[in-house]
Structure 1
Amino acid sequence: MRRTAHRALTRLSLLTLAAGTVMVAPAGPASAAGLTLTVDVGEVVRPATQVASGGLYGVASDTQPSTGMLLPLNPTSFTQPPPGTTHLPNGATEPCCGALEAGPNITRAGAQQFIRLPDIYPDFPYQWQGWNDWEQKVTGIVHERLAATGTTNIRGYELWNEPGWTWDTEAAGSFLDGWTRTFRLVRSLDDTTPIVGPSWAHYEHERMLEFMRHARDTGTLPDVIVWHELGDMQWDSFDDHVADYRAIEEQLGVAPRPIAINEYNSRNQMDIPSVAVHWISVLERHGAREAHRAFWYEPGTFNGLFTLNGEPTASYWAYRWYGAMSGNIVRTTPDSWIDGVTSYDSSRKIVNTVFGGDWGDNTVRVEGLEGFGSAVDVEVRSTPGSGRHTRVSSPTVVTDTTMQVDSGSITVPIEGMNAEGAYQLLVTPADGPTSSWQQVYEAENATVVNAETLSSGSASNGYYVGRIDGSADMRSDSFVDFTANVPESRDYTMTVRYANGTGAASTHGLAYNGGAWSTVSYEPTGGWGEFGTTDVTVSLEAGYNVIRLAKGSPGFGGGTGYAELDSITLS
């Protein structure tokens, strides 16, 4: 955050590499055209959860960006400064973006957040004021969070940020000892909220190994492992970093932790749509739970997805296409500099690929379309390579045509590609998707809080959400938030597909768009992972609605018994 990137490649460097001139490792392709991105609809990678749709300081307040601007991006999580922050980010003259101030906006958008504790300080790098001062600050932050009993979206406390160069060893002692001391203080005040770290500025094996060994031996292992990926074209190393970290866990006998990259992309390349696509692709492919766009510019613009006037930029459309992904992420195989991410929604028979990365005439091959019939509709859209100050009101339709399916495959030509821009390829049966709007919403695609995504052959999409068990308070409440986009304001029948293996009726609370609570009853099914359905009526507004099914939630007395959630269907 707010410093020179580790690899000082400029925007021109990226394009020169993409055009085929070798400047630095990794080398560019031998030619700039004739490349093929391959999509295999039948090979599932993971449920679609918009892993990379998060941001550091992405939300400035309860109104900036507006919730309506955030919802189409389907954000997963953010990193925000603590309540009472005095931080002046990126030359700002006033503090902003406090977690509790921005929290309602983030919740309405269906997302969660980490609180970055050291951003209580005004300056960056942080100016250490002594242990008494730090511990008073940490205690105050945690107390403010605990007093916010209606706030359910705190995903973790980030104890420090980029300690390799911002921790004052001379004044504060070693970072490892500081981590232990701060961890134990936070746990003495709040024994429930996850703790995340160590938040290195970049990944290094020896440093991570030393940290994990120390944390294991002192009983201070973070619940979520965090580091940053900030260099130009650093996406090329992400898979190696994940593999190395997993090997450290195995070496030390530590149970696998979720990985969060809460700063990614470089200052030089932040506003290049094709670079964002590279990051999205590797973060989905190599196992991050969540990732946040780095904060190099103005707060509240989702780090360049909106202009200062709140209008969409070119990169916004890449993330909006990504935000529309549902069902499962499926295998996408890059070719040299062309990469992408693909989802397949079997409920509507929609294949959605977002891709980019090179010049010239290239192709996308989509395999696994045997169930789509003999012909498919193919639509290609593009967004240009313009930066964060340029308004792009809509993407450009490049082509919209019908193609014949040959042995379950099509090969789509993409002529005259721009290496800076991003592209979307939509493939549906020739007569269109099975419904004109999305009606089935899988629980594993939703915002899952204090519960677990599990796999089962009996689940409608191969996955479901179970262990929705918590109702003690706002820190441990278990719920699932579905973000549904409906065509008109009216009553809808909502069919909940659930499992109840208790042998007796159980209940969840139901609320939508922050409204009043009602109760959904679940009769017993054959067992856990064996699903039945129940119908309720919901009154939704045209456009986006956030629907919560909860075992526990502020304002709700708590559900009875237990139930697992597979999906909801609106009709």
Structure 2
Amino acid sequence: MLSTLRRAAARAGVIALVLGAAVAGSSVPAQAAGLTLTVNVANTVRPATQVAAGGLYGVGSDSQPTTAMLLPLNPTSFTQPAPGTTHLGNGATEPCCDSLKVGDNLVRAGAQQYIRMPDIYPSFPYQWQGWADWESKARKQVQDRLAETDMTNIRGWELWNEPDWTWNTSAAGSFNDGWARTYKLVDSLDPVTPIVGPSYSRYDHNWMQSFMTAAKASNTVPDVIVWHELTDMDWNNFDEHVADYRAIEDSLGIADRPIVINEYNSLNQMDIPSVALHWMSVFERYGAREAHRAYWFEAGTFDGLFTLQNQPTASYWLYRWYGAMTGNIVQTTPQSWLDGVASYDSTRKIVNTVFGGDYGNNTVRVEGLGSFGSQVQVQLLSTPGSGRNTAVAAPTTISTTTMNVSNGTISVPVNNMDAEAAYQLIVTPVGGPTTSWQQVYEAENQTVVNANTFASGNASNGSYVGQIDGSADMRSQSFVDFTVNVPTARSYTMTIRYANGTGANSTHGLAYNGSAWSTVTYPPTAGWAQFGTVNVTVNLKAGYNVIRLAKGSPYFSGGTGYAELDNIKLT
């Protein structure tokens, strides 16, 4: 997080900033045209989990943004400041965004959060007050969190932030030693919650090599690896950063850790939709688990997806399209600056592609449409590069057409592209999606807490959620939160596709929208990843609902046995 424009200027090497206006600089190419983005529906990359749909200080309170504003964006996770924060970031006059105070809002939106511990200090860069002071602060944060026995969505402790320039080596000793000392303190108080780091301001091989070597020697290797990507156009280097980090792990004999980029996008490019799209593309393509928009300006606006008046910006619509991705992320092959992210939902036959990055007349080629028939319906929309203080009430529909499919392929012309704008291409059968609203929700696409996703040819979308085993307390309880969107308020039959290899009945708790808990019973199936179904009735409100299936959860005594979840279907 950056508190002054001076630091941003030093980092980026430029200071051509006008608040409220997008500064293109080198964020867009010279005039170009005739490029093709290729989407291969048949080549799955990963389940659709909205990797890039997170933010630093993105949520300001229990109502800023409101849960209703967050839900359509399908946020994955956030980094929020310490419990009891006194931090005054980016010119704020009072502290904001306390992780425990915003936690319920995030839970309702299906999101998790990391706690940034040094943001207990009021200023940035942090003013070190000595080890006794820091350890007292860290201890109190953990104790405050443990006292919140109904708060389930704390995904990790971030021990420090940007130590490459905020750690006071002369007063506190080396960062590597300070990391180990803080890790051991936090772990002694809370050995369950993951610890994340080292949170460098940028990726650097020597820093990471030194840190990981020392962390292995002290037995304090982070559970999740975090660094920041804040340099103009650094999306071009993300694949190299990931490969270099994985090589360091391999050289040290350390098992692969999840990678989270908990600050991304530069000061100059933050509010240009096509730049955010470049970041989305590389995070999905090269294996980040989560990524958070950077906090350059006001807190509580999802880092510029909303104006200060709670209106959507141009970038909001890009993230709204991205949030609607279901099924699997599929392969996209960029050309020059033209890039994108695409998903395929086989249950509804929808290909959803968000793309942009270049000027002129270009093409999106979609392959693997053989099951769609001889013709498809194609809808093209856009959102402008209008900056963070301009409300955009809705995206612009450019065209809705019917196209012939040749050898499973269509080539869609996209003329007069603006390199700062973002675009959405929706491809369905001619009659539209196979269902008018989404009825099947894959477990692996949802909020998976203290459980893991596995691949299987038996699973309906190629993956399922297993190891839903924890029931001890709010730190380790295992559940899946399904965010569903239904057209009318009524009773629905919910069919749960599950596996139970225990040989005896197993149970989960079921709750939704704050309802009382009920019990779902899963008879034995032929084995693990061998799926059967059970039906239950749920009474849902029109619009968004969050349905929890839990082995353990606050206010629920805990399920019996074990079960795996493939999907739910509402009818």
Q: In which range does the TM-score fall when normalised by the shorter chain?
A: over 0.9
Distance 1:115 1:334 in 2: 35
Distance 2:426 2:285 in 1: 20
Aligned-pair CA distance for 1:324: 0.1
Residue 28 of structure 1 aligns with which residue? none
Task: Give the secondary structure class of the aligned counterpart of 1:425.
Answer: strand
Task: Give the secondary structure class of the aligned counterpart of 1:492.
Answer: strand
1:254 aligns with 2:254: yes
Which of 9, 12, 15 matches 1:7?
12
Q: Map of 1:138-537 to 2, 5 A cutoff? A: 138-537=138-537
Residue 26 of structure 1 aligns with which residue? none
One-letter code aligned to 2:425: L
Task: Give the secondary structure class of the aligned counterpart of 2:229.
Answer: coil
One-letter code aligned to 1:115: I
Deviations 1:465-507 (A, max 9, x none): 0000000000000000010011011110000000000000000
Distance 2:431 2:73 in 1: 27
Distance 1:277 1:123 in 2: 32
Deviations 1:522-557 (A, max 9, x none): 000000000000000001111111110000000000
Residue 29 of structure 2 aligns with which residue? 18
Distance 1:257 1:12 in 2: 35
TM-score by length of 2: 0.97
Aligned-pair CA distance for 1:515: 1.7
CA contact (8 A) 2:492 2:539 kept: yes
Distance 1:193 1:285 in 2: 28
Aligned-pair CA distance for 1:516: 1.1
Distance 1:518 1:332 in 2: 43
Residue 24 of structure 1 aligns with which residue? none
CA contact (8 A) 1:491 1:539 kept: yes
Aligned-pair CA distance for 1:7: 3.3
One-letter code aligned to 2:563: A
Deviations 1:272-305 (A, max 9, x none): 0000100100001000000000000101000000
Aligned-pair CA distance for 1:13: 2.0
Distance 1:285 1:483 in 2: 24
Residue 29 of structure 1 aligns with which residue? none
CA contact (8 A) 1:8 1:231 kept: no
Distance 1:241 1:319 in 2: 25
One-letter code aligned to 1:4: A
Distance 2:74 2:511 in 1: 19
Distance 1:483 1:97 in 2: 24
One-letter code aligned to 1:146: L
TM-score by length of 1: 0.97
Runs (5+) with no aligned partner, structure 2 = 17-22
Distance 1:271 1:488 in 2: 35
1:566 aligns with 2:570: no
One-letter code aligned to 2:377: D
One-letter code aligned to 1:14: S
Aligned-pair CA distance for 1:12: 3.3
CA contact (8 A) 1:8 1:232 kept: no
One-letter code aligned to 2:343: S
Distance 1:491 1:234 in 2: 49
One-letter code aligned to 2:417: M
Distance 1:256 1:184 in 2: 21
RMSD across aligned positions (CA): 0.8
Distance 2:308 2:356 in 1: 26
One-letter code aligned to 2:529: G
Aligned-pair CA distance for 1:39: 0.2
CA contact (8 A) 2:24 2:269 kept: no
One-letter code aligned to 1:19: A
Deviations 1:15-36 (A, max 9, x none): 5x5125xxxxxxxxxxx10000
Distance 1:488 1:266 in 2: 42
Aligned-pair CA distance for 1:450: 0.4
Aligned-pair CA distance for 1:50: 0.2
Distance 2:370 2:354 in 1: 22
**Count of residues in Structure 1 that have an aligned counterpart in Structure 2:** 559
1:54 aligns with 2:54: yes
CA contact (8 A) 1:326 1:345 kept: yes
Aligned-pair CA distance for 1:14: 2.6
One-letter code aligned to 1:394: A
Q: Map of 1:548-559 to 2, 5 A cutoff? A: 548-559=548-559
Distance 2:114 2:25 in 1: 34
CA contact (8 A) 1:51 1:288 kept: yes
Aligned-pair CA distance for 1:88: 0.3
Aligned-pair CA distance for 1:405: 0.1
One-letter code aligned to 2:12: R
Distance 2:514 2:182 in 1: 35
Distance 1:421 1:557 in 2: 50
Deviations 1:243-275 (A, max 9, x none): 000000000000000000000001100000000
Aligned-pair CA distance for 1:424: 0.2
Q: Which runs of 4+ in 1 moved over 4 A?
A: none
Residue 135 of structure 1 aligns with which residue? 135
One-letter code aligned to 1:99: S
Residue 27 of structure 1 aligns with which residue? none
Residue 19 of structure 2 aligns with which residue? none
Q: Once the two structures are aligned, what percentage of the paired residues are identical?
A: 71
Runs (5+) with no aligned partner, structure 1 = 21-31
Task: Give the secondary structure class of the aligned counterpart of 1:207.
Answer: helix
CA contact (8 A) 2:459 2:529 kept: yes
Task: Give the secondary structure class of the aligned counterpart of 1:412.
Answer: strand
Residue 124 of structure 1 aligns with which residue? 124
Deviations 1:203-261 (A, max 9, x none): 00011011001001110000000000000111111000000000000000000000000
Residue 20 of structure 2 aligns with which residue? none
Task: Give the secondary structure class of the aligned counterpart of 1:19.
Answer: coil
Deviations 1:143-188 (A, max 9, x none): 0000000000000000000000000001101000000000000011
Distance 2:371 2:216 in 1: 50
Distance 1:96 1:195 in 2: 23
Distance 1:316 1:190 in 2: 37
CA contact (8 A) 1:552 1:559 kept: yes
Distance 2:67 2:267 in 1: 26
One-letter code aligned to 2:25: S
Distance 1:181 1:244 in 2: 27
Q: 1:8 to 1:371 in 2, by over 3 A?
A: farther
Distance 2:498 2:91 in 1: 50
